[in-house]
Structure 1
Amino acid sequence: MLASASPARLAVLRSAGVEPLVRVSAVDEDAIIDSLGPGAGPEETVIRLAEAKAHSVANDIVPDLDGVCWAGAADVLDCVVIGCDSMLRIGGALQGKPLSAEVARERWKSMMGTTGELLTGHCVVRIRDGAVVDEATGCSTTRVHFGTPSEQDLEAYLATGEPLEVAGAFTLDGRGGWFIDRIEGDPSSVIGIGRPLVRQLLGKVGVTVATLWR
């Protein structure tokens, strides 16, 4: 089960042979970040956000640790819930979704020709026989080298709306990929869900990747 509304994360899983159920978490990301305080590191921040999303969905399925799934469906009695959260670290600061063209424009002006780190936190929650039995968390970090789009291209990109709802105001797999010179690390993690890391986390909770293939 994928605890995310991201079509990019869903596409990564589908292209890798997995057709997950999708259930969107009702997590207040800003409240979680505020609760962590100023001393929280970048990796801890994205992992805690991913953890909150995965547990939010798991708690919807399993009312308590001893209960059974209220949904009553076999596919949620024995499953894994995967939560993810991505943020861009650049200039010493973490950036989430810009949400407006004005903010995205300013971010791109500061990112052009520079390098940042895209951090994606992951949390895998294991549900067996209708109960949460295990979990594993981790963070994947990839260095992103930004190009320098022309003013015309940047304005056209902002007008598509694509960069407004994604971490760091860019995508690798969409139009934003035209303006990424190169990356150092896992491309699937930049898209939003790192397949190598998810494979490792699944192994820690006793699930092999092949069992999830459709």
Structure 2
Amino acid sequence: MTPRLILASASTARTKLLSDAGIAHTVRVSDVDEDAATAAAGPLTPSDTALLLARAKAEAVGCVTQGGDDALVVGCDSIFEFNGEPYGKPWEADAARERWQLMRGRSGVLHTGHWLISTHDGESTGHGEVTSAVVHFEDVTDAEIDAYVATGEPLQVAGGFTIDGLAGAFITGVEGDPHTVVGLSISTLRRLLAKTGVSITDFWS
């Protein structure tokens, strides 16, 4: 009997990505305090931060799911690295605008951490992996940046941009798995599932 797959994320882009790939799943959002989790861990690289938060989200949902429920829980988190510095969600319009003024015509690296928890027999085991992709940006104008920020899209996404939304017009290329930039690498999920003895094809709906 194949366990059910739970996505521990509020990201509509991640759940759409899974659905478009034919992967049956349910969503259960974690209540992880990301700022507290990273502060407790101390200095980390952007890549390590993405993996830490992905693990925290998966384990938080995995703990709730335990107790006889046979499930696989995948947590994800994305961090954008630009000039060696980590950037999460801008939240504020001014921050998003300033970030785009720095990024335009240049490149950065989007890191997505993945952590998979198995709750089989009430025991939790985990496997993790980070995938990274280089993102190249157009030399967009101030007017284009203002128009994009005004849509509200960049405020609540890692790095202040999406590849599968409006900002796709401002991205000239991606080196690496483009799903990484969306926030969940399907091929990485396949490898993590295989470590638990489950095939991704078992979830094709």
TM-score when normalising by structure 2: 0.95
The aligned counterpart of 2:103 is 111
| Alignment of 1:45 onto 2:49 | yes
Distance 1:165 1:80 in 2: 27
Distance 2:20 2:159 in 1: 24
Contact residue 81 and residue 111 of structure 2 kept, 8 A: yes
Contact residue 65 and residue 71 of structure 2 kept, 8 A: no
CA RMSD of aligned residues (A): 1.0
Structure 2, unaligned runs of 5 or more: 1-5
Read off the aligned partner of 1:90 and give its amino acid letter: F
Displacement of 1:153: 1.5
The aligned counterpart of 1:60 is 64
Contact residue 78 and residue 113 of structure 2 kept, 8 A: yes
List, as ranges, runs of 4+ consecutive aligned residues in structure 1 with deviation greater than 2 Å: none
The aligned counterpart of 1:65 is none
Read off the aligned partner of 2:184 and give its amino acid letter: I
Contact residue 47 and residue 79 of structure 2 kept, 8 A: no
Structure 1, unaligned runs of 5 or more: 63-67, 70-76
Contact residue 82 and residue 108 of structure 2 kept, 8 A: yes
Counterpart of 1:146 (choices 120, 137, 149) is: 137
Counterpart of 1:24 (choices 26, 29, 41) is: 29
Displacement of 1:78: 2.1
Distance 2:123 2:94 in 1: 43
Distance 1:14 1:23 in 2: 15
Displacement of 1:42: 2.1
Distance 2:88 2:123 in 1: 29
Counterpart of 1:13 (choices 15, 18, 35) is: 18
Contact residue 58 and residue 132 of structure 1 kept, 8 A: no
Distance 1:132 1:158 in 2: 45
1:144-203 deviation line (CA, Å, top 9, x unaligned): 011122222211110110000000000000001110110100011100100111111111
Q: Between the two proteins, what is the percent identity of the paired residues?
A: 44
Contact residue 105 and residue 140 of structure 2 kept, 8 A: no
Distance 2:154 2:7 in 1: 22
Distance 1:211 1:109 in 2: 45
Displacement of 1:19: 2.8
Distance 1:147 1:87 in 2: 20
Secondary structure of the residue aligned to 1:211 is helix
Read off the aligned partner of 1:112 and give its amino acid letter: R
Read off the aligned partner of 2:61 and give its amino acid letter: V
Contact residue 124 and residue 202 of structure 1 kept, 8 A: yes
Displacement of 1:133: 4.1
Contact residue 46 and residue 80 of structure 2 kept, 8 A: no
